[in-house]
Amino acid sequence: MAGTQNNSDRAADDFDQVASNAPRVQVAQGVSAALRSDQTPPFPQMVSQMFGQSDPNQRAGMLNQLISGLGPGLLSSIAGGALGNIFGGGNNNTQPHVTPEQAAQMTPEQVQEIAAKAETENPGIVDRMGDFYADNPMLVKAIGGAALAIVLGQVAQGMRR
């Protein structure tokens, strides 16, 4: 067990180094690969984990990315209607924008449900989230050592091309 902890710590340290020195696009592609990998938890679960570790601004940014792929009408049907309630029913045709204060009302479980729906409705959301997390690399460490190892491997492979 101690070896596993050491490997996770090392992956986190290596990730810090890579995230600050590698081209951003490579980091984004690596994070997207980890979010899609069958060696990591499902995409909605990882998004939920990172949401739980985020500050209010990051939470709002995550939610705005996730809901950008959903039609406004779907918002009231997911997460127990929480997003529909936040946006007054979600019946208008404008894309809502989540504020940090509104994001603070959401639970990681609700975000997991939103992420699952977003992935079903718009599979490209995984790449959008990978891109978002490349701008917020500290959040990526919340998804654990296995995912970080995938990110590191992808970045290294991308930089060799």
Under 8 Å CB-to-CB from 52, ≥6 apart: which residues? 108, 142
Half-sphere exposure at residue 120, Cβ-oriented, CA atoms within 13 angstroms: 10
Q: Is the pLDDT of residue 160 over 80?
A: no
pLDDT of residue 93: 53
Task: Please compute Rg for the chain using Cα positions.
Answer: 16
The residues spanned by each domain of the chain are 39-160
Query: What are the structure tokens assigned to 52, written together?
Result: 């739980």
Please give the full DSSP string across 25-46, using - where no structure is assigned.
HHHHHHHHHHHH-TTS--HHHH
pLDDT of residue 95: 63
Choose the weakest-confidence range: 7-11, 84-88, 89-93, 115-119.
89-93
